[in-house]
Amino acid sequence: MTFLVRGQKHRRKVVFERRAMAGSDASSSASKSVEDAVSGSSQNRQPHLAEPSSRLGDEVVDSVFRSQRVATMSATAARASMVPDLFTSPPHIRDLLNTQSSQIQEETIQECLPFLSGIEPGASYNDYGVPHLERKHHIQFLHKSLKKLPAPYVAADASRPWMFYWALAGLSALGEDISQYREPLISTVRPIQNVTGGFGGGNGQMSHLAPTYGIVLALAIIGGKEALDVIDRRAMWKWLGALKQPDGGFQVSVGGEEDIRGAYCAAVIITLLDLPLELPRDSPAWTNEGATLLTGLAEWIGRCQTFEGGFSGLPDAEAHGAYAFCGLACLCILGDPHVMIPKYIDVPRLISWLSARQYAPEGGFSGRTNKLVDGCYSHWVGGCWPLLEACLEGPSRPSVGESQSQAINLYSREGLIRYILCCCQDRTKRGGLRDKPSHSSDSYHTCYVLAGLSSAQHKWHFNPTETRIETSGNLASSYQWTCEPFVGDGHIYDEEDRVGTLHPVFVIPEGAAEKTRAYFVSKGGF
Amino acid sequence: MGRYEGDPEWDDVAPIPQDDGEGALAQIAYTDEYAEAMSYLRAMMAAKEHSQRVLDLSEHIISMNAAHYTVWLYRAATLFALNADIEQELNWVKDIALENQKNYQIWHHRQLLIDHLYPTISSEPRALQQLAESEISFMTEMFNEDSKNYHVWSYRQYLVRKLNLFNEAELKSIETLLRSDVRNNSAWSHRFYVVFSDPKNTTPGSRATEHDPKIPDEIIDREIEFSKAATFEAPQNQSPWNYLRGVLRKGGRKLSSQECFASEFVKIPEDGEECIRSSHALDFLADVWAEEGKIEKADEALLLLGDKYDRIRKNYWEWRRGMVKEEGVRKGLE
């Protein structure tokens, strides 16, 4: 996906031998072929990530690993039977016409099947054929991402503040104490703020909504007066005024592009910091009819819905998973989900498109029609479901266990959780989560895969009766969400593998947004 | 000694080193070369200097880190302040773009350049045509590397709007891409834009999901036929199905007008096993039948999808079944 600027992806080719396609009647033969593929790489419990020149022939693989395979065969067969054939066999209908899109899709299925089938030698699985969450390794991975980074990270020089947010959100979801980062975070972000308002990618860089969003969320996660007081709210408000456009949207930086990321990031900042909505007099969107920071914003978001039903990054482009979350979450800041979403969006078309993002056998989400699954869409697409479910259900409250079956449940939580735990974990000592098995873990994927896991493991309610903070200010809707563990379909993980809750709109630990907002409300104007 | 420190041309500049704060998180161990160049850029920006040496410096930094929006924005401001040769800049950026496929900033920079150039050539049809041709051939090069590159496609939409390229040549160039991969959804999306945002035939501001009465019937017919032909090549390809729905919506036509076509891929006999060649056809027919009030048939189609042909979306199909029944009850009461 392309939500932000990152270093080059280090995609390494997985060199599974291509297999004959298993027929829909033969999940056992599919398991057999994926087992072969895995045993060719059992040394490191990873697919064989070598250059094609080092490809092993099937015969070599067979002779080297035969003894091991015989030994694990009975356990493997038993485990394979716990995995529904939906996740071990190819799709029911496939066209004969071969194009680049269908070819890489087929390769991705072959890449994922060994991981989904519960037959990795030496790995430990639960009763559902699902591996455990490697919590300790992922925690170590995220801690490491905040330490000094080598020179090739220069490509991230303008997006570094994201790393603070990804690591702190991920660590919080994993239940790790992050208070050790309070002082370093404060002294790190201070020189990144500009006197003209907002934060840049680093010291001396122009302010930009993406790093500003990352830093505001990181400070909200860390919490406390000293951290929150770093933010110059008055300058922030002035700067947001300069970004606001007459057509309703926001530029990401002065003179920069206008897109739906800008809209979402701006809305998050305005509500969390409880900024006044009136426009500064020098804003390009200022009118003498009293236009505000929010004038035309929901309509602008509505213009990003495409004929497919999803959202594009700006009007007229292609529907894309990351932009769907930005659009929906922005609407859920501007008002109540059951009011705002149907008012500006064709909901049935959106749900149809969003639902089509989930693939089998992989179980995970893709970002666009005819593109591949990627772990980060566990959040960008997966995170849309709580917002849409709340849109359809209207105000609701946590049930006590049994009545949760009344709730609307629009996707396969089991599929997503299987993809996450089977395919997205780097289960070597390195840790971290990833796009798909052939990719390296990074902190971006670690954060958003965990956010998706959290969302699949919980049920959110938009619950105005249980408002936690005083709602007299502007934009109070997004502080009225409550949560409970999800029971039912998809409970294929052990309790120890449940991660913490992340707010469905802000994607920071439950309670952090409410506290941040309450702090700034209590401070009043600037 | 650094590249700039020892250069007499930069003698008058006091570089501003980066202030990373104490014990900074995720601090990047820059090379000396990058750190020095950036400290000179900070000095230039602080002095608001726009000069040839700023262009040289920014080129140097971009060669080390092309994902640096500040450098790009400052470079653009400098180019415009110096009234620099825009075409030369467009050429230089081409190479950078080809080397940095995933880069965001380059495409915004290119838009700024075109916006700046456009008024100077807007009265010369030949120059405009040359610009369009050279930009499109450059994008073709980009699409050879990645035919679904989101930034390039967004830029393409910008260019079509800016240079009014709602024309036959644009449709043909999309068809070329679809001929090599009929599943290229970016190309399908672009086609929808070119056809349904063409100011000649459409209502300004009409949303992508709404009926536009201004579109001539023959265009709707043409696009329906286009999507159908593609569907026959690979019936399980969702792109033309989504496109067809989009076209029908734009034309204000019922889905049931295409019942015959969708039935080509779905055979459900009274007894015996069904034959389904496309789950999207079945999805389409479920909507057709619901539209026609054939509640039981719609329900049967949705059940088949959830139980057999698209099981991962079972919950979605079940939700649709509920909606169809609710709609049936509502219609029954009227």
Which CATH number fits the domain that encloses residue A341? 1.50.10.20
Task: Report if residue A386 sits inside a domain.
Answer: yes
**Per-residue confidence band for A76, with pLDDT thresholds at 50, 70 and 90:** low
Q: What is the mean pLDDT of residues A145-149?
A: 97
Interhelix angle B86-99/B105-121, nearest 10 degrees: 160
C-beta neighbour count of A508 within 10 angstroms: 25
Asked whether the predicted pLDDT for residue B167 surpasses 70, the reply is yes
3-state DSSP call for residue A374? coil
pLDDT exceeding 90 applies to what percent of chain A? Answer: 76
From A92's Cα to the closest Cα of chain B, the distance in A is 6
Task: Report if residue A288 sits inside a domain.
Answer: yes
Rounded CA gap, A479 and A464, in Å?
Answer: 9
**Per-residue confidence band for A471, with pLDDT thresholds at 50, 70 and 90:** low
* Tokens encoding A409: 């449940």
Its pTM stands at: 0.90
The per-residue pLDDT for B49 is: 98
Is residue B58 within 8 angstroms of chain A, CB to CB? Answer: no
| CB A380 within 8 Å of CB B197 | no
Asked whether the predicted pLDDT for residue B185 surpasses 60, the reply is yes
Average pLDDT value for chain A: 86
Is residue B27 within 8 angstroms of chain A, CB to CB? Answer: yes
Set A244, A261, A379, A445: catalytic member: A445
Task: Report if residue A413 sits inside a domain.
Answer: yes
Residue A349 sits at φ, ψ, to 5 deg, of: -65, -40
Q: Could B189 and A318 be called an inter-chain contact, meaning their C-beta atoms sit closer than 8 Å?
A: yes
* Tokens encoding B166: 């709602």
Is residue A399 within 8 angstroms of chain B, CB to CB? Answer: no
| CB A243 within 8 Å of CB A209 | yes
Q: What is the mean pLDDT of residues A132-159?
A: 97
Asked whether the predicted pLDDT for residue A346 surpasses 50, the reply is yes
The per-residue pLDDT for B68 is: 96
Task: Select the residue of B67, B147, B239 nearest A369 (Cβ to Cβ).
Answer: B239
What residues in B contact A352, CB-CB < 8 Å?
A: 316
Rounded CA gap, A485 and A498, in Å?
Answer: 9
Residues in Cβ contact with A521 at an 8 Å cutoff, skipping those fewer than 6 apart: A274, A469, A470, A473
* Total number of domains constituting chain A: 1
**Per-residue confidence band for A52, with pLDDT thresholds at 50, 70 and 90:** very low
Q: What is the mean pLDDT of residues A191-196?
A: 98
Task: Report if residue A487 sits inside a domain.
Answer: yes
- A85: phi > 0 → left, psi -120 to 50 → alpha, else beta; which? alpha
- Helices H / strands E in chain B, number of each: 15, 2
Rounded CA gap, B90 and B110, in Å?
Answer: 7
Cα-trace Rg, chain B: 27
3-state DSSP call for residue A328? helix
Q: Out of A462-476, B95-109, B159-173, which region has the weakest mean confidence (pLDDT)?
A: A462-476
Interhelix angle A260-272/A209-222, nearest 10 degrees: 40
Residue-wise pLDDT for B16-62, tens only, equals: 999 998 899 999 999 999 999 999 999 999 999 999 999 999 999 99
* Tokens encoding A225: 């007066």
Is residue A145 within 8 angstroms of chain B, CB to CB? Answer: yes
Q: What share of chain A is helix, strand, coil (3-state, %, to 5)?
A: 50, 5, 45
| CB A466 within 8 Å of CB A324 | no
Task: Report if residue A473 sits inside a domain.
Answer: yes
Q: Out of A209-223, A478-492, B61-75, which region has the weakest mean confidence (pLDDT)?
A: A478-492
The per-residue pLDDT for A292 is: 97
Q: Is A376 in the active site?
A: yes
Set A112, A376, A391, A423: catalytic member: A376
Asked whether the predicted pLDDT for residue A3 surpasses 60, the reply is no
Asked whether the predicted pLDDT for residue A379 surpasses 70, the reply is yes
Residues in Cβ contact with A110 at an 8 Å cutoff, skipping those fewer than 6 apart: A16, A18, A19, A34, A37
Asked whether the predicted pLDDT for residue A454 surpasses 70, the reply is yes
What residues in A contact B309, CB-CB < 8 Å?
A: 92-93
Set A232, A426, A435, A497: catalytic member: A435
The H-or-E segment that residue A461 falls in is strand A458-462
The per-residue pLDDT for A470 is: 55
Is residue A164 within 8 angstroms of chain B, CB to CB? Answer: yes
Average pLDDT value for chain B: 96
Rounded CA gap, A398 and A205, in Å?
Answer: 45
Task: Select the residue of B18, B185, B245 nearest A204 (Cβ to Cβ).
Answer: B18
The residue that leads in pLDDT, A491 or A183, is A183
The per-residue pLDDT for A405 is: 60
Please give the DSSP secondary-structure letter assigned to residue A201. S
**Per-residue confidence band for A53, with pLDDT thresholds at 50, 70 and 90:** very low
**Per-residue confidence band for A51, with pLDDT thresholds at 50, 70 and 90:** very low
Q: Is A374 in the active site?
A: yes
Q: Is A442 in the active site?
A: yes
Residue B199 sits at φ, ψ, to 5 deg, of: -60, -20
3-state DSSP call for residue A394? coil
Q: Could B192 and A307 be called an inter-chain contact, meaning their C-beta atoms sit closer than 8 Å?
A: yes
Asked whether the predicted pLDDT for residue A59 surpasses 70, the reply is no
The per-residue pLDDT for B124 is: 96
Task: Report if residue A430 sits inside a domain.
Answer: yes
Query: Which of the residues A143, A194, A205, A359 would you substitute to probe the B interface, choosing the one with the greatest number of B C-beta atoms within 10 Å?
Result: A205
Query: Which of the residues B116, B267, B312 would you substitute to probe the A interface, choosing the one with the greatest number of A C-beta atoms within 10 Å?
Result: B312
Task: Select the residue of B20, B74, B76 nearest A203 (Cβ to Cβ).
Answer: B20
Is residue B202 within 8 angstroms of chain A, CB to CB? Answer: no
From B13's Cα to the closest Cα of chain A, the distance in A is 16
Query: Which of the residues B101, B104, B194, B227 would you substitute to probe the A interface, choosing the one with the greatest number of A C-beta atoms within 10 Å?
Result: B104
Task: Report if residue A517 sits inside a domain.
Answer: yes
- Which class for A113: exposed (0-12), middle (13-18), buried (19 or more C-beta within 10 A)? buried
Name residue A149's beta-bridge partners. Answer: B28
Is residue B235 within 8 angstroms of chain A, CB to CB? Answer: yes
Task: Report if residue A188 sits inside a domain.
Answer: no
* Tokens encoding A219: 């400070």
Q: Is A434 in the active site?
A: no
Q: What is the mean pLDDT of residues B97-126?
A: 95
Rounded CA gap, B303 and B314, in Å?
Answer: 9
Rounded CA gap, A507 and B250, in Å?
Answer: 36
Domain residue limits at A308: 240-523
Q: What is the mean pLDDT of residues A44-69?
A: 33
Q: Could A148 and B29 be called an inter-chain contact, meaning their C-beta atoms sit closer than 8 Å?
A: yes
Asked whether the predicted pLDDT for residue A107 surpasses 90, the reply is yes
Q: Could B21 and A191 be called an inter-chain contact, meaning their C-beta atoms sit closer than 8 Å?
A: yes
* Tokens encoding A390: 């709340």
C-alpha distance across the termini of chain B, in Å: 86
- Nearest C-alpha neighbor of A411 from the set A358, A485, A487, A341: A358
